[in-house]
């Protein structure tokens, strides 16, 4: 089956954008299957840095079809701004397709996102404030507005009036905010609809047709396994399912249409926002990793929390995603460290455990059990063959792969497309 799913195995920011961009060169289509513009994929191509939030990471290739699936929540203003920015740089948008069934982020979603976070105080989740969670909540509550309705002015007017009759009460009576004006919102979003109309289609039919024709289809997830709504560190999670199984519901294909699953693994760990992080380094080493790697959010600019790689997380992510291969990224960040540590288990109440607990209380109490590897203390960014990597470096990589129960597919030693080592066949 010529299809590949790329997922994050940690808390996001593993470098999925680069890996998808790299694989997209040989793909016929790249399909984004969940999330919204709370995700940011950074791609470096031709010496330029591109930060993508809604557009699939294959958009930089002119002949690659780029599909936004039905479980992506779309802020049309953000999408159009992103399209305009890339178009101004000479990139074509004619290969973009948007699902009729995707839900639309409305102004009240963004407002309620910020207001609800403020209301939670110290218990806040640490969302990006982009309205993602409230939009998914409306979809589950069956009061959401989909792209198919946005394209129909009468249907949109009817659904927007119904939504505002409820949302304005929340804004006024609960949060003391001014209500949203129907005419203003309606006019603004109809203008967005007119610009996006030519890109909208039944993307499930499209993708199934591509797969039936033997085309190479690359499925791209946002965020990562530990932020999955069902399987992550709840409630410090995203509002969708960024795991491989969500491709089926997020695009509208059957499980038998999924080929290989590639898990992107950062050579160390980071996370943004609140929530448990057993290997977090609150010391000079953590600060050094952050500064060498410029670990600041692509969407928010927030400094990321840093720590050593956690194999308890990786084993869990491998199991719930069914990983075939890993793409190890940002290996070059560790080039300067005299030793590199890898958490292989936890100690809890004197007992060694190798699984990732569901309980946040238990996670807050665990003590990482580390294996320590001698560093390689040499630059890897110029290396293009796996065999040419330093021996100590390969030992670390192979131990990570062993703990994931997967093969090494790609090793990334820099941000650029050329700074990539192809270890095993992906397609």
260 within 8 A of 5, measured Cβ to Cβ: yes
192 within 8 A of 78, measured Cβ to Cβ: no
Residues 6+ apart with CB under 8 A from 45: 21, 60, 416, 417
User: CA distances (Å), 15 to each of 140, 192, 200, 222, in order?
Assistant: 30, 31, 28, 10
Of the candidates 21, 41, 53, 241, the residue annotated as catalytic is 41
Of the candidates 13, 21, 28, 324, the residue annotated as catalytic is 13
- Residue 121's Cβ-count burial label (10 Å; 0-12, 13-18, 19+) is exposed
Instruction: Report the chain's terminal Cα–Cα distance, integer Å.
Output: 9
Assess whether 71 carries a catalytic annotation.
no
Assess whether 332 carries a catalytic annotation.
no
Helix (H, G, I), strand (E, B) or coil at 44: strand
Torsion angle of the four alpha carbons 158, 162, 167, 173, in this order, in degrees rounded to the nearest 10: 130
The dihedral sign for the CA sequence 328, 255, 218, 84: negative
Closest C-alpha among 74, 250, 223, 251 to residue 147: 74
- Beta strand 339-348 with 367-374 is antiparallel
List, in sequence order, every beta strand (DSSP E) within 272-390. Answer: 305-307, 309-310, 325-329, 339-348, 351-353, 367-374
Closest C-alpha among 312, 285, 360, 240 to residue 9: 312
Residue 343 is classified by DSSP as E
* Cα gap 411→15, rounded to integer Å: 11
Q: Is the backbone peptide bond immediately before 235 cis, with ω within 30 degrees of 0?
A: yes
Write out the catalytic residue numbers.
13, 41
């Amino acid at each position: 089956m010529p299809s590949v799913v790329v997922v994050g195995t940690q808390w996001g920011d593993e470098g999925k954008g680069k890996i998808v961009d790299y694989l997209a060169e040989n793909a016929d289509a790249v399909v984004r299957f969940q999330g919204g513009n709370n995700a940011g994929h950074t791609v470096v191509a031709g010496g330029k840095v591109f930060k993508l939030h809604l557009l699939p990471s294959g958009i930089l290739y002119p002949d690659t079809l780029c599909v936004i699936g039905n479980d992506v929540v779309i802020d049309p203003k953000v999408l159009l701004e992103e399209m305009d920015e890339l178009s101004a740089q000479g990139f074509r948008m004619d290969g973009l397709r948007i699902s009729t069934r995707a839900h639309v982020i409305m102004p009240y979603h963004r407002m309620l996102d910020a207001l609800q976070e403020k209301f939670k105080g110290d218990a806040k989740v640490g969302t990006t404030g982009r309205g993602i969670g409230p939009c998914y909540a409306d979809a589950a509550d069956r009061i959401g507005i989909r792209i198919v309705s946005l394209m129909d002015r009468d249907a949109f007017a009817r659904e927007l009036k119904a939504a505002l009759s409820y949302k304005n009460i929340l804004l006024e009576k609960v949060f003391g905010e001014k209500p949203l004006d129907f005419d203003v919102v309606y006019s603004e979003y109809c203008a967005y609809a007119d610009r996006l109309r030519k890109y909208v289609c039944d993307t499930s039919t499209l993708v199934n047709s591509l797969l039936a024709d033997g085309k190479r289809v690359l499925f791209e997830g946002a965020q990562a396994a530990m932020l999955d709504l069902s399987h992550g560190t709840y409630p410090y999670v995203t509002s969708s399912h960024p795991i491989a199984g969500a491709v089926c519901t997020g695009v509208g294909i059957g499980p038998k249409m999924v080929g290989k699953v590639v898990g992107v693994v950062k050579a160390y760990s980071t996370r943004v926002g609140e929530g448990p992080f057993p290997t977090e380094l609150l010391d000079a080493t953590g600060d050094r990793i952050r500064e060498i790697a410029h670990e600041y959010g692509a969407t928010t600019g927030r400094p990321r929390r840093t720590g050593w790689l956690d194999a308890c997380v990786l084993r869990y992510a491998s199991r719930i995603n069914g990983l075939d291969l890993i793409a190890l990224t940002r290996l070059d960040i560790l080039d300067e460290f005299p030793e590199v540590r890898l958490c292989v288990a936890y100690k809890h109440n004197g007992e060694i455990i190798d699984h990732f607990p569901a309980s946040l209380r238990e996670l807050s109490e665990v003590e990482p059990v580390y294996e320590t590897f001698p560093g390689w203390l040499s630059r890897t960014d110029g290396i293009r063959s796996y065999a040419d990597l330093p021996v100590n470096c390969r030992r670390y990589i192979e131990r990570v792969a062993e703990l994931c129960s997967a093969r090494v597919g790609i090793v990334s030693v820099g941000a650029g497309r050329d700074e990539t080592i192809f270890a095993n066949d992906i397609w």
